[in-house]
Amino acid sequence: MDINSLKQRAEDYLELCYNELNKSHLLEARLAEVHKEIESTRAYELLSFELVYGTKVAWRNSNKCIGRLFWRTMKVFDCRKLSHSEDIFQALLNHIKTATNEGNIKSTITVFNAHNGIRIWNPQLLCFAGYRDEKGRIIGDSKQLSFTKECMKLGWIPKMGQFDILPLVIQVGDNKPEFREIPEEIISIVPIEHPFIDSFKDMGLKWYSTPIISNMTLEIGGIEFHAAPFNGWYMGTEIGARNLADESRYNMLPKVAKLMGLKLNDKNILWKDRALIELNSAVLYSFKKHRVKIIDHHTASKQFMEFLRKETTEGRDVTADWAWIVPPISGSTMEVFHTEMNNEVKSPNYFYQQEPWSTK
């Protein structure tokens, strides 16, 4: 990014930040300081409160997130001073433990230095491995086939199970990527069972409690943080209607339908729809039984509409991606389905990155 573009992005964000935090009387001096720093080093450092607020506004601006009502509440760990791999690993473990919070999931972000080439290879800090057996059949999460293969290249020993937690993999600058196993005691795994179908638990389904996204760039005022894992808590359909249900993931709907005694060759009975509802019911029931925070899609949709109304009251336009905001089941029963949305991308924000191993 050229100097003038960086100056403009810095100005845009700092004006927003200082005005919204009632610090506008400090803005002129701060902008002069930042301009001088950019001219001298072609970069600048955000002050601690500027970083913290930027992470939250980035969540507020996340077009694909339905859970933005709580954007002000995120816990922020400023880890920009860390540069050694062991310290970075410890910060990631601390994030998992803090965010999981004994089941009362806490929205959390950990931000690492933007300028020393730290990358987290995991798509999420917690994710299940995906393998191909000798006959080419997929075991585990097909979405993680590529990342699992990279872990194995680094020396990680595969367990060949359906639900194996992958290690943390980080890279600092041009150094070789390193991996560390995640201690079992800080991982919360929820076994999936059904409130009425006893044989449901025999499928051995499970899912991890905390969705910590780690493959996105956080951009604030023109500064790009390529290592900034963050999380909210699950909406049930993310697990029950996508992760466990998609044909390209765990593809569990045929098995659920058979448990229910449904005929898979009869489309008129809507076996996929009925199995999908029961799978989602099982996810919500299981998380609540194990006292792990989760939200159903109807409540999440109501919260999004409350967020929209609050932002309008504050004089801010809400941008959103309709295809992501509307839940993947029962969409037309919710107000979000009938709401027009502007998908303009604002800054600060989170942006997907290329997989780090694909650039090598």
Give the catalytic positions in this structure: 65, 68, 233, 238
Q: Which helix (H) or strand (E) holds 32?
A: helix 27-41
If you count DSSP H runs as helices and E runs as strands, how many of each does the chain have, helices first? 10, 16
Q: Which residues contact 196 (CB under 8 A, 6 or more apart)?
A: none
| Type of residue at 353 | Q
**Which of 249, 267, 209 shows the shortest CA–CA distance to 233?**
209
Q: Which residues contact 83 (CB under 8 A, 6 or more apart)?
A: 113, 116, 118, 172
Strand 178-180 with 189-191, pairing: unpaired
Interhelix angle 27-41/3-20, nearest 10 degrees: 160
- Residue-wise DSSP of 215-235: SEEEEETTEEES---EE--EE
